[in-house]
């Protein structure tokens, strides 16, 4: 067996420990986690191997490793872990490290996810939005009926938000491109059926079928599904709005009567975002004992999405009630958080949509998923006999 | 209420307790053993063989019984439990209640009462794997060699069949529970252990299939005086169990169950693998482990001997799922073969969960001077002046270590007596 030189990256270990994986070092490699996990492939299953790589600081092992993204953090592993090493939380922390690796500039991942800098990361967008409002609308409470375009017209919103979204998506896309190349390299995969893989992945994501495999936190299926579709709905309604206003130069479809279906669709989306966030927070607290409460990285995203949903809904209700004193400030907060959601898209936990999507797609592209299914079929397989001495070398 | 006196009072008549009593008595002090079962010998009586010599445990027990029989400084009470302990070193008062045996000392253990008894109940001696009568003797070599009647199991509608069957007038169905107080100079807690409840391990299938058993049950299946007469078979259908999986750390070293290592289960499973291999030349034994713990030269040698058998596979990886395969009747054990880096599913006839030892000392009412740690073992430190713990009341231990510890504790106990005389 070829000799290997271990190059531990201690900063990598420290990074994991600091971002929610503080239980990492408790792992004693029993592999209960890999067995109770319902979403792992049979061959080279996770998260046992990831736990030792992370303990030893073998950062390069995570280069192009799709497995940490196949993890849906059901936390079945954490519930059964005999040592309280919380593999679910550790993998979450490792994912943060890989986001940092692929979303450039990587320093933004640290800034966005640094609890001490939290006021700053919202203050900057707030100042920016305030400047645009001061330049184009009314920075204050406009008189008369509550109409949000009095505070900020449609055009400046588009000038501000469209580039923010494009920036977020572009950084994510570039990250995925690098990640994809690394996955191909690390796994020795040169070709595959990309189109079918993408279609199959989309089907899997839309149905959320992987979430159904979770035992410990079945409720996450519902909360994530609701939240996911709230994003889909709100994305579609926003796109329709842009289509009407910018391309067709028609009246906004959000006015009652003229655009009732789009409007109703949007209200459903807003309700879903609020309900989904509440469900998610509730699950976290309910399962706190066995699964842990989650890291700052998790809560930041839940927080941003929650504020977006609540402020949007509240602003809408306050407008209907004609309470300008509430409607305008809340609308301002709403704008700030939507802007934050967009620009921090590839740097917050929301980046999982890029990298998990890519990893799930790669599983199909590389044929590993099909292979795993084939292995799972016959129940019988003899264990491999191996001398411990040899094995130690292998682990090394 | 009668008052009795003894130098050393031993709570628990297992191998640790008996050794303590014998050692103290042979040093010239009186010793009294309080045992809750109908017989002495404790958990050791249920073993088929000792590791690493693979000799019968009855041998070591009989030596102790013989020591007791010929030493009038030792007395013992079966079916008895300690209610409470008061007093101080040199002057303890121990309140004991004894349940009635319903059989008096005229019993010759002829077995006529059991023959006449119409009631059958699951046999706790064999961990429920067969039945016994309500009139019973725990096992053929039980000491004291005397039957007992399990009145809770009596249906009552049999009249007095056992009493009528007894030629020696040994059945006394009117016996009453009694309480008495014993004055003792020092106390030794030898309360031992019980097998960890495997049904708490919801992923390991215990209770879902008859062919998923615990290591203590495996010991009974392999024992000559066990429910199968020593034939290793699947409990579900009596088929020869030629493929047997040993699941190590079933609930041990696990903060959700027993956080500690019981220190004996690896050796016990290696030993049980030899039972299987000896009985069937074409058998296969798998032992799935996190780490194999066999400290000490002789234990290490034992591991190497068992490992040398090519039909014993030691596989690194903790089993985390066990279930029945209805199609084949096999039990499937699922694990990650860590060295191969893949999940495997191994079909076997019999799956043995190597469950750990749960200390039972905290089930009794302890005086405040006795401290119990988070795992339920008595903390022994230098402050201990009159009450000592031995065997598995103190630490998870095998028989050899328990016996050594008991000898040491006997010395501490008689020192207490001497100091306060």
Shared domain for B247 and B317, answered yes or no, is yes
The pLDDT assigned to A2 comes to 66
C-alpha closest to that of B374 among B390, B362, B387, B357: B362
Residues B397 and B256 in one domain: no
Q: Are B361 and B378 in contact (CB under 8 A)?
A: yes
Q: How many CA atoms lie within 13 A of B198 on its CB side?
A: 26
The boundaries of the domain holding residue B322 are 197-357
The more confident residue out of B159 and B127 is B127
Residue B105 lies in a domain: no
Judge whether B59 is closer than 8 Å to chain A, CB to CB. Answer: no
Task: For residues A378 and B327, give the distance between their C-alpha atoms in angstroms, rounded to a whole number.
Answer: 12
- In this complex, do A394 and B315 lie within 8 Å of one another by their Cβ atoms? no
Strand partners, B359: B193
Q: Which pLDDT score, from 0 to 100, does residue B280 have?
A: 98
When divided into structural domains, chain B yields a total of 3
- A19-33, B252-266, B274-288: segment of lowest average pLDDT: A19-33
**Is-contact B218 B264, C-beta < 8 A?**
no
- b/e burial code for range B49-78 (CB count within 10 A of at least 16 → b): bbbbeeeebbebbeebbebbeeeebbebbb
**Is residue B170 a part of any domain in this protein?**
no
- Asked if residue B298 lies in contact with residue B52, where contact means CB atoms within 8 angstroms, the answer is yes
Kindly report, residue by residue over A323-373, the tens digit of the pLDDT: 999 999 999 999 999 999 999 999 999 999 999 999 999 999 998 887 766
Q: Check residue A393 and give its pLDDT.
A: 42
* In chain A, where the domains are located: 107-357
Measured between CB atoms, which of B339, B343, B346 is closest to A45? B343
CATH number of A107-357: 1.20.950
Find the closest chain A residue to B245 by CA distance: A383
Per-residue confidence (pLDDT) for residue A396, from 0 to 100: 33
Q: Is the dihedral of CA B133, B138, B144, B150 positive or negative?
A: negative
What does residue A390 show for φ and ψ, rounded to 5 degrees?
-65, -40
Among B52, B14, B56, residue whose Cα is nearest residue B269: B52
- Do B389 and B269 lie in one domain? The reply is no
Say how far apart CA B312 and CA B96 lie, in whole Å: 48
Q: Are residues B350 and B364 in the same domain?
A: no
pLDDT tens track for B266-288: 999 999 999 999 999 999 999 99
Please count the other Cβ atoms lying within 10 Å of the Cβ belonging to residue B293: 18
Closest alpha carbon within chain A to B254: A82
Q: Taking 80 as the threshold, does the pLDDT of residue B382 lie above it?
A: no
Q: Give CA angle at A353 (A14, A184), nearest 5°.
A: 75
In a domain, residue B220? The reply is: yes
Beta-bridged to residue B88, according to DSSP, are B91
ipTM of the complex: 0.89
**Amino acid A395: pLDDT:** 40
**Mutation site, B288, B309, B318, interface A, largest A CB count within 10 A:** B318
Q: Which of A159-168, A218-227, B163-172 has the lowest mean pLDDT?
A: A218-227
Residue B297, domain member (yes or no): yes
> What is the Cα–Cα distance from A150 to B316, expressed in whole angstroms?
69
Q: Supply the pLDDT for residue A374.
A: 58
Residues B321 and B227 in one domain: yes
Closest by Cα among B103, B105, B109, B106 to B174: B103
* A389 part of contact set with chain B, CB < 8 Å: no
- The CA distances from residue A247 to A237, A239, A241, A250, B277, in Å, are 15, 11, 10, 8, 81
Partnered with residue A58 across adjacent β-strands are none
Residue B106 located in a structural domain = no
Q: Specify the higher pLDDT residue, B206 or A147.
A: B206
Same domain, B128 and B249: no
| Of A44, A45, A82, Cβ closest to residue B255 | A82
Q: What is the pLDDT of residues B302-352, one digit of tens each?
A: 999 999 999 999 999 999 999 999 999 999 999 999 999 999 999 999 999
pLDDT > 50? residue A394: no
> Is B215 contained in some domain?
yes
Residues B306 and B275 occupy one common structural domain: yes
Q: How far is CA A384 from CA A196, B156, B287, B337, in A?
A: 35, 58, 13, 7
CA dihedral B180, B184, B189, B190 (to 10 degrees): -80
B46/B64 same-domain check: yes
Residues of A (325-384) whose Cβ lies below 8 Å from B: 375, 379-384
Least confident of A111-120, A275-284, A289-298, B389-398: A289-298
> What's B34's domain CATH number?
3.50.50.60
Would residue B347 be called left, alpha or beta, if left means φ above 0 and alpha means ψ between -120 and 50 degrees? beta
Write the pLDDT tens digit of every residue in B27-61.
999 999 999 999 999 999 999 999 999 999 888 89
pLDDT score, position A392: 42
Percent of chain B scored above 90 by pLDDT?
94
Neighbours of A296 (CB within 10 A): 17
Which SS3 state, helix, strand or coil, does residue B356 take? coil
Are B238 and B312 contained in the same domain?
yes
- Asked whether residue A387 carries a pLDDT value surpassing 70, the answer given is no
Q: Which of A10-24, A371-385, B53-67, B403-417 shows the lowest per-residue confidence on average (mean pLDDT)?
A: A371-385
pLDDT above 50: residue A135: yes
Mutate to test the interface with B, among A23, A35, A43 (most CBs of B within 10 A): A35
B193-224: b (≥16 Cβ within 10 Å) or e? bebbebeebebbbbeebebbbbbbbbbbbbbe
- B96 with B180: CB under 8 angstroms? yes
> What mean pLDDT, rounded, does chain B reach?
95
Res A258 pLDDT > 80: no
Instruction: Quote the CA–CA distance of B226 and B233 in Å, as a whole number.
Output: 12
Write out chain A residues lying below 8 Å of B254, CB-based.
Answer: 82-83
CA angle A247, A249, A253 (to 5 degrees): 95
- pLDDT confidence of A391, banded at 50, 70, 90? very low
Name the pairing type of β-strands B74-77 and B31-34. Answer: parallel
Same domain, B341 and B219: yes
The answer to whether the CB atoms of B340 and A381 lie below 8 A apart is: no
B202 touches chain A (CB under 8 A): no
Model confidence at B414: pLDDT above 80: yes
Q: Determine the pLDDT at residue A291.
A: 74
* Residue B322 within any structural domain of the chain: yes
C-beta atoms of B320 and A32 within 8 A: yes
pLDDT value of residue A115: 87
Q: Does B66 touch chain A (CB under 8 A)?
A: no
A285 in B contact zone (CB under 8 Å):
no
H/E stretch holding B97:
strand B91-98
**Would you say residue B104 lies in a domain?**
no
Which run of H or of E encompasses B5?
strand B3-11
Q: Say if residues A20 and A89 touch (Cβ distance below 8 Å).
A: yes
Is the domain of B185 the same as that of B220?
Answer: no
Interface check A113 vs B, CB under 8 A? no
B208 and B348 together in one domain: yes
* pLDDT at residue number B251: 96
Contact call for B337 and A80, based on CB within 8 A:
no
């Amino acid at each position: 067996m070829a000799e290997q030189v271990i190059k531990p990256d201690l900063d990598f270990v420290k990074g994991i420990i600091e971002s929610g994986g503080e239980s990492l070092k408790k792992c004693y490699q029993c592999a209960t986690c890999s067995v109770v996990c319902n979403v792992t492939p049979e061959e080279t299953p996770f998260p046992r191997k990831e736990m030792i790589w992370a303990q030893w600081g073998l950062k390069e092992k995570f280069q192009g490793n799709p497995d940490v993204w196949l993890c849906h953090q059901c936390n079945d592993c954490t519930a059964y872990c005999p040592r309280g090493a919380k593999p679910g939380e550790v993998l979450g922390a490792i994912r943060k490290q890989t986001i940092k690796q692929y979303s450039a500039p990587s320093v933004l991942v640290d800034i966005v996810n640094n609890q001490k800098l939290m006021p700053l990361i919202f203050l900057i967008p707030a100042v920016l939005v305030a400047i645009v409002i001061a330049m184009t609308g009314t920075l204050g409470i406009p008189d008369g009926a509550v109409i949000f375009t009095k505070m900020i017209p449609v055009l400046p919103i588009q000038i501000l938000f469209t580039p923010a979204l494009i920036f977020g998506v572009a950084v994510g896309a570039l990250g995925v491109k690098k990640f994809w190349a690394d996955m191909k390299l690390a796994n020795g995969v040169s070709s595959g059926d990309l189109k079918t893989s993408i279609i199959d992945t989309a089907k899997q994501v839309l149905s959320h079928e992987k979430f159904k495999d979770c035992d410990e936190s079945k409720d996450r299926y519902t909360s994530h599904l609701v939240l996911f579709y709230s994003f889909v709905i709100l994305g579609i309604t926003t796109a329709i709005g842009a289509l009407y206003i910018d391309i067709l130069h028609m009246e906004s479809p959000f006015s009652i009567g003229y655009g009732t279906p789009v409007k109703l669709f949007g209200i459903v989306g807003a309700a879903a975002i609020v309900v989904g966030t509440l469900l998610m927070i509730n699950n976290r607290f309910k399962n706190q004992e066995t699964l842990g409460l989650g890291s700052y990285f998790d809560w930041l995203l839940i927080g941003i999405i929650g504020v977006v949903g609540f402020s949007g809904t509240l602003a809408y209700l306050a407008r209907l009630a004609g309470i300008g004193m509430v409607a305008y400030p809340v609308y301002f907060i709403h704008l700030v958080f939507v802007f934050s959601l967009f620009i921090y898209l590839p740097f917050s936990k929301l980046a999982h949509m890029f990298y998990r999507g890519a990893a799930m797609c790669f599983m199909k592209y590389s044929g590993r998923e099909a292979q795993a299914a084939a292995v799972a079929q016959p129940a019988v397989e003899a264990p491999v006999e191996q001398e411990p001495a040899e094995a130690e070398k292998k682990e090394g | 209420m009668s008052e009795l006196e003894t130098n050393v009072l031993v709570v628990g008549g297992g191998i640790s307790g008996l050794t303590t009593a014998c050692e103290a008595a042979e040093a010239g002090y009186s010793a009294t053993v309080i045992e809750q079962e109908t017989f002495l010998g404790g958990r050791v009586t249920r073993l088929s063989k000792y590791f690493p010599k693979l000799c019968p445990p009855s041998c070591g027990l009989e030596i102790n019984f013989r020591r007791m029989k010929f030493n009038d400084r030792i007395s013992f009470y079966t079916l008895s439990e300690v209610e409470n302990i008061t007093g101080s070193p040199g002057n303890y008062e121990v309140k004991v209640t004894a349940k009635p045996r319903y059989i008096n000392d005229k019993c010759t253990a002829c077995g006529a009462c059991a023959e006449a008894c119409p009631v059958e109940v699951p046999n706790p001696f064999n961990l429920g794997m067969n039945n016994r009568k309500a009139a019973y003797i725990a096992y053929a070599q039980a000491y004291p060699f005397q039957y007992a009647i399990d009145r809770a199991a009596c249906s009552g509608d049999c009249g007095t069949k056992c009493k009528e069957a007894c030629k020696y007038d040994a059945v006394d169905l009117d016996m009453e529970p009694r309480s008495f107080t014993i004055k003792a100079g020092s106390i030794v807690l030898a309360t031992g252990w019980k097998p960890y409840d495997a049904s708490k391990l919801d992923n390991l299938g215990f209770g879902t299939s008859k062919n998923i058993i615990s290591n203590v049950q495996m010991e009974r299946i392999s024992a000559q005086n066990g429910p199968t007469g020593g034939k290793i078979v699947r409990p579900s259908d009596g088929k020869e169990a030629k493929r047997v999986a040993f699941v190590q750390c079933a609930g041990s070293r696990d903060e959700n169950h027993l956080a500690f290592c019981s220190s004996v289960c690896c050796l016990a499973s290696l030993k049980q693998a030899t039972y299987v291999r000896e009985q069937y030349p074409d058998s296969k034994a798998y032992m799935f482990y996190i780490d194999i713990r066999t400290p000490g030269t002789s234990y290490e040698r034992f591991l190497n001997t068992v490992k040398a058998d090519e039909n014993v596979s030691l596989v690194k990886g903790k089993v985390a799922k066990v279930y029945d395969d209805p199609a084949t009747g096999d039990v499937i054990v699922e694990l990650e073969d860590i060295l191969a880096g893949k999940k495997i599913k191994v079909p076997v006839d019999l799956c043995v969960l190597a469950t750990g030892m749960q200390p039972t000392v905290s089930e009794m009412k302890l005086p405040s001077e006795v401290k119990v740690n988070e795992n339920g073992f008595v903390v022994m430190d230098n402050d201990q002046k009159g009450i000592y713990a031995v065997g598995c009341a103190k630490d998870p231990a095998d028989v050899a270590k328990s016996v050594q510890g008991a000898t040491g504790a006997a010395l501490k106990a008689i020192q207490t007596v001497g100091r306060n005389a």
